[in-house]
Structure 1
Amino acid sequence: MKTTVKNDRIAVPIIIALSILVPIIVLILMNLPERYNFLGLELGTLPLFHAVLNASTAVLLLSGYFLIKSGDKIMHRNVMITAFGLSAVFLISYVISKISNDPVPYGGEGFMRPVYFFILISHIVLSAIIIPLVLFTMYRGLTGEYLKHKKIARWTFPIWMYVAITGVLVYLFMLPYY
């Protein structure tokens, strides 16, 4: 137990700092006055990549859920680490996208416009909330604190799944405008 407390003194402040800094950095980068397309990518390239990452993450999350329900802890761990890795790649790619391209406005009208903005806003808000949830869930699982892991995973799983699925939906809504 002393090792856990000692590890918590290091890990918890790091998780909290990342949970605050990552959304702030993304917000700053989204509002840069000038764009720097240093990769030379076309406008629609990264959004498609993001949708693939989000869809893959959703599949992995669902797989991880069924694996833990079936008792396969090792495969569950591996699948969830892979989902975390894809989410990290997504975040880095998303930041590159925001640095590289001007924001693309949604051009839809009528009933679909409020639907899109509800999905987009809930996706953005929950994307910020999911950062500490995922980090704490991963930390508790990897340190063998399974009761704490299970308790927080009950919140993390549905929110992370929602963020992954709505990420794909946002892409599909925006597809005609890229």
Structure 2
Amino acid sequence: MQLEARAHVPALTGVLSVVSLALVFGAVGGVLPTESLPRSEPLLALVPHLNAVISAAAIVAILSGWRWIRRGDVTRHRAAMLAAFGLFVAFLVLYLYRVSIEGATDFPGPEGVYTYVYLPLLAVHVTLAIVCIPLLYYVLLLAATRPWRELGATRHPTVGRVAAGLWLVSFSLGIVVYLLLYVVY
């Protein structure tokens, strides 16, 4: 199985990316069936706050993974990046649950802030999150299908640096969006 996957990392990346993005766009677009989802008002109210904490923890995990790989500690790097990916999945599941049931959150602040601050921040955050999905799958699949000693000869280090940088910006902007929606206004 690993040898088959190893030979098809780009194709697997594409399939996983399309499925993931279809779920996200389906949830945001309101086309996913939500009748079978349990509706928990306390959880729905808690999701934005949980996701802000998850985002902050993911930032710490990504920075830690970056630091550990620069020090040559592959084991800690792998653990940190898998933790960051697990946090991303948790964030996404909670976000999709909430947006599927309640829809997108309306911005409660002034029109000028909405137009010139919030929307541009949100657009960059969402765009980077979308761009990161295939990059993350690609580096994870490379790492999962090869011994760590071979990864340096693949695009894993290069794509990983780009993915980690974009991921950090996306998570950081997500926290700013949260602050604008739930703290400032």
TM above 0.5, yes or no, is yes
1:104 is matched with which residue?
Answer: 105
Report the aligned-residue RMSD. Answer: 2.3
1:164 is matched with which residue?
Answer: 171
Identity of aligned residues (%): 24
TM-superposition CA deviations, 1:135-169 (whole Å, max 9, x none): 11122233232332101112111101111111111
Equivalent-residue separation in structure 1 for 2:53 and 2:94 (angstroms): 12
> The residue matched to 2:41 in structure 1 has which SS?
coil
Equivalent-residue separation in structure 2 for 1:10 and 1:104 (angstroms): 39
Q: CA deviation at 1:177?
A: 8.8
Q: Which runs of 5+ in 1 are unaligned?
A: none
1:146 is matched with which residue?
Answer: 152
Letter in 2 for 1:88: V
TM superposition score normalised by structure 2: 0.84
Q: CA deviation at 1:27?
A: 1.4
1:93 is matched with which residue?
Answer: 94
Q: CA deviation at 1:13?
A: 2.1
What is the 5 A alignment of 1:117-136? 117-136=119-138
Q: Is the 8 A contact 1:35 1:102 kept in 2?
A: no
> May I ask how many residue pairs the two structures share in their alignment?
175
TM-superposition CA deviations, 1:27-54 (whole Å, max 9, x none): 1222227865624124431111111111
